[in-house]
Amino acid sequence: MNVLVKVGDKIRMDGERQRYTVQGVRNGFILATKPLNVMKTYLYTLIDIQEGVRGPLNSVFGIFEEVNSPEGATRFFDWIEEEGGWGTWGVSRRRYKALSDGEIAQLVSK
């Protein structure tokens, strides 16, 4: 599968009004954010293309890095690779959401 999206692209997730902005793409993972205007912050989602799921990082303390920029996403992906790689880290199995066929179609080509 080839990833179709690149940094800066907007992607839409089913059931959500606001689109996410792709901040980083690496090793079959996409990190995307959307503004949470009420609290003047943002929400992120980590997309695992191979597993077909999205959600937060599988960490008790959540994500440590400001990832609302391509630079922050690069630092995040570098940290993942330094701290055990994708075999250790990934999308939370407790709070993940399966990607729909439409969501997958906008992200990858088969």
State percent of the chain over pLDDT 90. Answer: 57
Q: Is the pLDDT of residue 71 over 70?
A: yes
Task: Give the span between the Cα atoms of 70 and 47, in whole angstroms.
Answer: 15
Query: Is residue 35 assigned to a domain?
Result: yes
pLDDT above 90 (res 87): no
pLDDT band at 98 (very low <50, low <70, confident <90, very high): very high
Determine the structural domain holding residue 75 and report its residue range: 2-105
Residue 27 belongs to some domain of the structure: yes
- The predicted pLDDT at position 100 comes to 96
Query: How many distinct structural domains can be found in the chain?
Result: 1
Inside any domain, residue 110: no
Q: What is the pLDDT of residue 6?
A: 95
- What residues contact 62, with CB distance under 8 A and at least 6 apart? 56
- Of 105, 32, 110, nearest to 72 by C-alpha is 32
pLDDT for 110 beyond 70: no
Cα–Cα separations (whole angstroms), residue 82 to 76, 88, 101: 10, 11, 32
The dihedral region occupied by 84, where left means phi > 0, alpha psi between -120 and 50, and beta the remainder, is left
Residue 97 domain flag? yes
In a domain, 15, yes or no: yes
What is the pLDDT averaged over residues 74-85?
86
∠26-14-98 over CA atoms, to 5°? Answer: 60
CA distance linking residue 88 with residue 8, whole number of Å: 27
CB 34 within 8 A of CB 18: yes
